[in-house]
Chain A
């Protein structure tokens, strides 16, 4: 059974940094692309970033230069380093497994709140 477990969400001040992690199990992690998708309170889904199995990375424009996605295939962990956080980054962040572009398995999410 595919399992994705996010951690690292917290309350952080504007301009601060945070690192999210996603521990994966139940599948061959190194063979799959992985993504982060976020959802602001009461809002819809927003794709944030994807890292493919060849380590190529992609970002939505609003986080480019501030967020860095990475993966550790030896530990089956996906990460998202978030710097220069803004109020508009407040959201639940979901980790998801990539299936040729769609996201076929999701974690339960971790809440990031950016506020002073």
Chain B
């Protein structure tokens, strides 16, 4: 199975900050990477698919980049509603695997 390692596991930030979360795969995943946001007690929501494509309705302050084994999610101007936990997921092969999550907190 492909292991996904996210960093940091948590980040303290303030509204207006620029936040970057990284995700490293144990093998080349050919840009088949998604990012999800999850708030407490809620289901995850898809933010970005195929590394950099924004899901419909997701604000443009979210962006994704990367290739090969190294990927990143950037929130360019943190808003109050962005405090949540973020997960990366590879889907190049089964089993699909998630990173362990990054909590963005005040």
Residues of A within 8 A of B (CB): 35, 37, 44-47, 50, 58-61, 94, 99-109
Ranked nearest first, the 10 interchain pairs of A and B with the lowest CB-CB distance are A101-B91, A102-B34, A106-B43, A102-B49, A47-B96, A58-B94, A45-B98, A44-B101, A60-B95, A104-B46
Q: Given the complex of chains A and B, what is the CA–CA distance between A47 and B93 in angstroms?
A: 12
Q: How many A-B residue pairs have CB under 8 A?
A: 63
Instruction: Summarize B's interface: helix, strand, loop or mixed.
Output: loop
Q: Does B69 contact A (CB under 8 A)?
A: no
Residues of chain B with a CB closer than 8 A to A58's CB? 94-95
A100 touches B101 (CB 8 A): no
* Pairs A–B under 8 Å by Cβ, sample size 5: A35-B96, A47-B95, A47-B96, A60-B95, A102-B91
Q: For the A-B complex with A47-B97, A101-B91 known, give 12 more contacts whose Cβ atoms are closer than 8 Å.
A: A44-B100, A47-B95, A50-B94, A50-B96, A59-B95, A102-B34, A102-B49, A102-B50, A102-B91, A103-B89, A104-B46, A104-B55
B87 touches A44 (CB 8 A): yes
Q: Given the complex of chains A and B, what is the CA–CA distance between A105 and B36 in angstroms?
A: 11
